[in-house]
Amino acid sequence: MKKLVLANQKGGVGKSAITCQFAHYMANLGKRVLVIDLDHQRNTSRPLAKNGRVAVAPFTSSAVLRGEYESLPEAAFVLVPGDDGLSLLVDQKDKHNAFVNHLNDFLGRAAAAFDLCIVDTNPNPDIRYAAALCTGDFVLSPIELNQEAIDGIGGLLNHPRYGYHKIKQTVNPKLDLIGLLPNQVESTPFQRANFKQVAEAYAKLLILVDPETKRFAFIPARTAIPEAQADGLYLAEMKKTSARDAWREIRPSFDAIAKRMHLEGL
């Protein structure tokens, strides 16, 4: 089982929408998918729980971190939802190591039943965020193309305790940064300039979709995406023309991410 962590130390960058739609995409390819929502805001849990093909575990992700989980449903697409109790774990510093160990044990027990586990994290660099990075195989970081988000890339990489480089060097050497995924990208001069700035400064951190044209992965700003989230739907299966158009733009980026994890099966 491959373990993908969605991480960014800034909120509002669209992690949850990407988590949900990428999970649906992988399930549609025939992969067995487990999703764990480590954010107490539950923006991943709510849309997935609305979808009839997703089985919801009878316990929450805070129970996983406490080591109080039960058996997962026998299904090919399963959600472990977030809950309010997640925010209470941060202050229990004497148990932080145990939280990481419990998550690692849970993932080990689930490994035979799934091809991919996707973990959506909270935007705060705390023990939930750290536990995901300490136990994951890959990191994908959605970002917005504004100066604040661009400046925040340094925090993702170099936070003194929970930065990618720190975790990789000291705890989890197998952790692989798939890259930055610009999200909610609009075709405006301002956004094009910011995308160019990111490409120039962080070209090695972007996800290459087409080597010949040097096209990088991104998620466009399309109204169909929040509509899909609100209704708990997979964008590719929506009947609206706007949804089909949005999926046509998104699919190459998702294909590139899957290939980086050797999970393409395309």
Q: Does any domain span residue 130?
A: yes
The CATH code of the domain that includes 56 is: 3.40.50.300
Q: Does any domain span residue 198?
A: no
Left, alpha or beta for 57 (phi > 0: left; psi -120 to 50: alpha)? beta
Tell me if 35 sits within 8 A of 79, measured CB to CB.
yes
pTM attached to this predicted model: 0.94
Tell me if 181 sits within 8 A of 258, measured CB to CB.
no
Cα angle value 56/60/65 (rounded, 5°): 135
Predicted confidence band of residue 251 (pLDDT cuts 50, 70, 90): very high
Tell me if 175 sits within 8 A of 136, measured CB to CB.
yes
pLDDT, tens digit (0-9, with 9 covering 90-100), for 143-200: 887 777 776 778 888 889 899 999 999 999 999 999 999 988 887 877 778 777 777 7
Q: Does any domain span residue 215?
A: no
Residues ≥6 apart with Cβ < 8 Å to 54: 35, 48, 77, 78, 79
Say how many domains are in the chain: 1
Q: Does any domain span residue 225?
A: no
Domain of 51 in residue numbering reads as 2-183
The dihedral of CA 215, 216, 222, 225: what is its sign? positive
Predicted confidence band of residue 139 (pLDDT cuts 50, 70, 90): very high
